Amino acid sequence: MEPYKHYVQYYETDKMGITHHANYILWMEEARVNFLEQIGWPFAKLEASGFASPVLKLDCKYIRPTTFSDVVSITTYVDQFDGIRLTFGYEMQKEDGTVVCVATSSHCFINLEGKPIRADKECPEFCEELMKYKKEDA
């Protein structure tokens, strides 16, 4: 799995030249979309399969700042998954290996009418693929 690379843009920084914290959440979505594409399940395929996975909760721990023109590599992995709820983990690093942020996003699954579903029952092929990228417990 290749990490997603984000190039910090000038407009993402504040008056102090530091990346505004809200941008990291956008980068998480970019990385998650990239992750799903890499495992063969882009959003279009998920929706064609009859379901979506909205965000329930976000958690970010900001460790070091980033600035304009930094390249941030975002490693995305499955942190937890029980067939109903899915939590992605993210580790963001500068090119020199400095960790700048660690984060998670928690998701549920709904059908296209908005009703909750069990992904493990509705789309077992997707769930099997996700489990290949589950981070092993330490």
- pLDDT tens for 32-52 read 999 999 999 999 999 999 999
Question: Can you give the CATH number for the domain in which 32 is found?
Answer: 3.10.129.10
User: Has residue 136 been placed in a domain?
Assistant: no
What's the confidence (pLDDT) of residue 132? 94
Beta bridge partners of 59: 104
User: Has residue 79 been placed in a domain?
Assistant: yes
Q: What number of helices (H) and strands (E) belong to the chain?
A: 4, 7
User: Has residue 138 been placed in a domain?
Assistant: no
The rounded mean pLDDT for the chain is 95
Cβ atoms 59, 103 nearer than 8 A? yes
Q: How is residue 135 annotated by DSSP?
A: P
The model's confidence at residue 113, banded by pLDDT at 50, 70 and 90, is very high
User: Has residue 36 been placed in a domain?
Assistant: yes
User: Has residue 13 been placed in a domain?
Assistant: yes
Count of domains forming the chain: 1
What is the rounded CA–CA span in Å between residue 53 and residue 8? 27
What residue numbers bound the domain in which 63 lies? 4-131
User: Has residue 83 been placed in a domain?
Assistant: yes
User: Has residue 52 been placed in a domain?
Assistant: yes
What is the rounded CA–CA span in Å between residue 99 and residue 86? 24
91-124 core/surface letters (b: 16 or more CB in 10 A; e: else): bbbbeeeeebbbbbbebbbbeeeeeebebbeebe
Cβ atoms 25, 58 nearer than 8 A? yes
Residue type, 87: T
User: Has residue 60 been placed in a domain?
Assistant: yes
Cβ atoms 8, 66 nearer than 8 A? yes
Question: The whole model's pTM is what?
Answer: 0.93
